[in-house]
Amino acid sequence: MMACPRIAVVTGATSGIGRATAIRIARDGFHIIACGRDPARGAATVAAVEAAGGTADFHAFDVTAEADWAALAARIVTDHGRFDALVNCAGGFFSKSLPDTSLEEFRALWTLDVESVLLGTKYGLRAMRDTRTAGSIVNVSSLAGLIGLDDCAAYCAAKAAVTHLSRVAALEGGAFDPPVRVNSLNPGVIWTEMITGSYGESDAVRAFAIDGNALQRVGEADDIANAAAYLAGPASRMVTGTAMVVDGGRGAD
Amino acid sequence: MSLEGKIILVTGAGSGIGAATVALLRVRGATAVATDLTGTDIRLDVTDPANWDAVIADTVARYGRIDGLVSNAGIAAATPLVDLDLAEFRRFTAVTVEGAFLGIQKVVAQMRAQGSPAQGSIVVTSSVMATQAAPGVASYAATKAAVSNMARAIGIELGRKGDFIRVNVVAPGGTVTPMLEKAMPPGFVDNPLSWASVPLREPQRAEDIAETIAFLLSDEASFMTSAIMTVDGGWSLT
């Protein structure tokens, strides 16, 4: 173990893409601060990271609460003095036609998907700047932030906002010394609780998850975790402001 | 990000991004077959179909199969459109577009001959100039745009045919290579002012582009096809 390991924060680390990302980037030598609301599930993520040979702490936390982000950033600056990677995975989803979507539903998703990323990027940029870390921020958006998806107006709008906010953050982070990189990661349909929780796990849902992909297989959380590892680490040293699409070719046609 | 045991053909490997890619692929455990007009042991003129056939046959005879292709050979020049003659434009088309077309078509045929479903990964070197505009780059930009979207179309086509051949595109911004130094005025590359409009305030090195190519070739990118990976320090953002 290095005297001063690289520090990575992963939000939404209690399930799905977030948990897979925590396990994957720990393998690259990051110490993981796994964030989420549920301590029991957080403990399971920490155990999975450790079982894979990495190290992690769970940090109970609400991504939509600015005070929680401020406290987390202060703790990282004080305890670690560096902040190398932030992967904002936390988010939500619902499917409903636009005429049936209430303003309350729209605002709730906007808070969970966009305000969480705004706050994370804000406090991530601050802490990376203050610790003079050449950090990398990865905001998990969606293919739905780049193309339309039936009955997902609120989600598409929110993920488009995440994608574009990340581009502006890349411009601002580039001015820091050393520069901080910011990219969005735009997955296609990935087989996680976010999908099965909304649509179930029937053969029809599985067929939907496969058939729109050129590669004719289900996208897995590990596929996105591998991409997050690429964006978080030195292999992407000169990559900033991009929207990295990992969708099995779904969005290309 | 291992490429252990993979047999990967790289075009334009005599210098710059191609040479850096060959070096990195070898570090990652691959057998990189380096080809170019000059500067490599194996000569390949990507515009010549018979030359492709010979190089592929020779590679298969030597290593048994081909797992990957890095279609990287390209040319650059900065000529104002009003001074651009048709012969130069056609030369860009031949090397950048037809060269990639021939390579992908013939390597895919080889991959299909190796088993069903066919397996493989192809990466095409395009440029941010495929989607950005600048003076003097009409033939470069037009042919990079063509090769970029051709690669994406082939990615979809191969997936739909039940192959597991992935096709992706890397789109570098200004990268320190002999090709760039030749295309730009003397001193351009080493002048920090040349990169002042890049958010990360420096040019890419050939090694940076090689990292992205290696990622796309690897199984870590096994759910990626028809994707464009930009590596430009944020230059194309504004």
Is residue A230 part of the annotated active site? The answer reads no
Provide the shortest C-alpha distance from residue B198 to chain A (in Å): 8
Give the pLDDT score at A3.
53
Domains plus CATH for chain A? 6-246 (3.40.50.720)
Report if residue B114 sits inside a domain. Answer: yes
Residues of A in contact with B116 (CB under 8 A): none
Q: Kindly name the residue from A123, A155, A199, A230 that is annotated as catalytic.
A: A155
Q: Determine whether the interchain pair B156/A253 forms a contact, defined as Cβ–Cβ distance below 8 Å.
A: yes
Which one is predicted more confidently, B26 or B163? B26
Closest CA to B132 of B228, B236, B238: B236
User: Over A42-88, what HEC string results?
Assistant: HHHHHHHHHHCCCEEEEEECCCCCHHHHHHHHHHHHHHCCCCCEEEE
Residue B107 belongs to what domain range? Answer: 7-232
Any CB–CB contact under 8 A between B27 and chain A? no
Strand partners for B70: B10, B123
State the alpha helices, DSSP H only, in chain A: 16-26, 39-51, 66-79, 103-110, 116-130, 153-174, 193-199, 203-211, 221-232
Find chain A residues with C-beta within 8 A of B233's C-beta: 174, 238, 240
Q: What's the start-to-end Cα distance of chain B, in Å? A: 32
Backbone angles phi, psi at A170, to 5 degrees: -65, -40
What Rg, from alpha-carbon coordinates, does chain A have?
A: 17
Nearest by CB: A238 against B155, B159, B231: B231
Q: Tally the residues of chain A.
A: 253
The strand pairing partners of B119, in sequence order, are B164
Nearest CA in chain B to A245: B227
Q: Which of B136, B122, B28 is nearest to B69 (CA)?
A: B122
- The beta-carbon neighbor of B223 closest among A167, A219, A240 is A219
Residue-level pLDDT at B23: 98
In whole angstroms, what is the distance from residue B42 CA to residue A226 CA? 34
Mean pLDDT of the B23-41 span:
97
Determine contact, residues A240/B199, Cβ cutoff 8 Å.
yes
Of A220, A226, A242, the CB nearest to B230: A242
Instruction: Report if residue B237 sits inside a domain.
Output: no
Q: Which residue has the tokens 């597991």?
A: B164
Note the pLDDT of residue A211.
Answer: 87
Indicate the range of A148-162, B31-45, B184-198 predicted with least confidence: B184-198
The model carries a pTM of: 0.96
- Specify whether the CB–CB gap between B9 and B36 falls below 8 A: no
ipTM of the complex: 0.95
Question: Structural domain tally of chain B?
Answer: 1
Angle between helices A16-26 and A221-232 (to 10 degrees): 50
Higher pLDDT, A199 or B215: B215
B238 located within any domain? no
Average pLDDT, stretch B159-163?
81
Q: In 3D, which of B1, B7, B154 has the Cα closest to residue B67?
A: B7
Contact A242 B229 (CB under 8 A): yes
Question: Residue A1: its pLDDT value, please?
Answer: 42
Q: Which of the four pLDDT bands, split at 50, 70 and 90, describes residue B30?
A: very high
Q: What is the CATH number of the domain that holds B186?
A: 3.40.50.720
Is position B1 within any domain? no
Question: How far apart are the C-alpha atoms of B18 and B35, rounded to whole Å?
Answer: 9
Q: Residue A2: what pLDDT?
A: 46
Does A227 contact chain B (CB < 8 Å)? yes
- For residue B163, being part of any structural domain is answered with yes
Q: Tens digits of per-residue pLDDT, B108-151? A: 999 999 998 999 999 999 999 999 998 889 999 999 999 999 99
Question: What residues in B contact A215, CB-CB < 8 Å?
Answer: 159, 164, 166, 222-223, 225
- B204 within a domain of the structure (yes/no): yes
Write out pLDDT tens, residues A89-107.
999 999 999 999 999 999 9
Asked whether the beta carbons of residue A235 and residue B229 sit closer than 8 angstroms, the reply is no
A238 touches chain B (CB under 8 A): yes
